[in-house]
Copies of this chain bind each other. A is one copy, B any other.
């Protein structure tokens, strides 16, 4: 089954929406792809005849097994290309999305296999997102030390390294709890300290020692 770029964009968008929502709606897809609801309906009909999704009009839809498999392969391509652009061509991680959007549609299984090998079969892309392997298996969403967590990416505190009261009182003081939302705004090379945003409100400064004790998980969200 070979898909057009447009079809690939739709199944990728549907896949990412259904991970959280289960059933997906026409408007959601239209919003993600910046297109009209009517265009989405047109494409749904087409993808249904290609047997890539379960769809009954007015009732919502979701990808079936075949559609899911294809979506994962598009995501695999996208993330491998992003890894290439950042690790090999030295782009910044925030410049690569648009280019990877184009590269992900290149049709050649061999190309992806070779690229994957060349990159050393990476498990995560530069944004910290998991890269599905050739069989479609997706590594677990990584829990990263705050030290290694990418800048400007929404994360959620998933664990704390030590339970010592000293640390906990400091964390409490900074409103950092398990499940707290945070975003690393800046890293200061001098002492490897961090400026971070907690729960979209507090701006706090974290020492290198404290950062080492905080584990963060990327918050799953829409695009890419």
Contacts and interface: CB of A to CB of B under 8 A. Distances in A.
B107 A95 contact: no
A28 B205 CA distance: 68
Nearest to A88: B118
The SS class assigned to the A binding surface is helix
A78 to B, nearest CB: 13
Given A99-B111, A111-B99, A89 B118 contact: yes
A153 interface: no
A5 B200 CA distance: 43
A46 B90 CA distance: 38
Given A89-B118, A98-B108, 15 more contacts: A85-B111, A88-B118, A89-B111, A89-B114, A89-B115, A90-B114, A91-B110, A99-B106, A99-B108, A99-B110, A99-B111, A102-B106, A102-B107, A102-B108, A103-B106
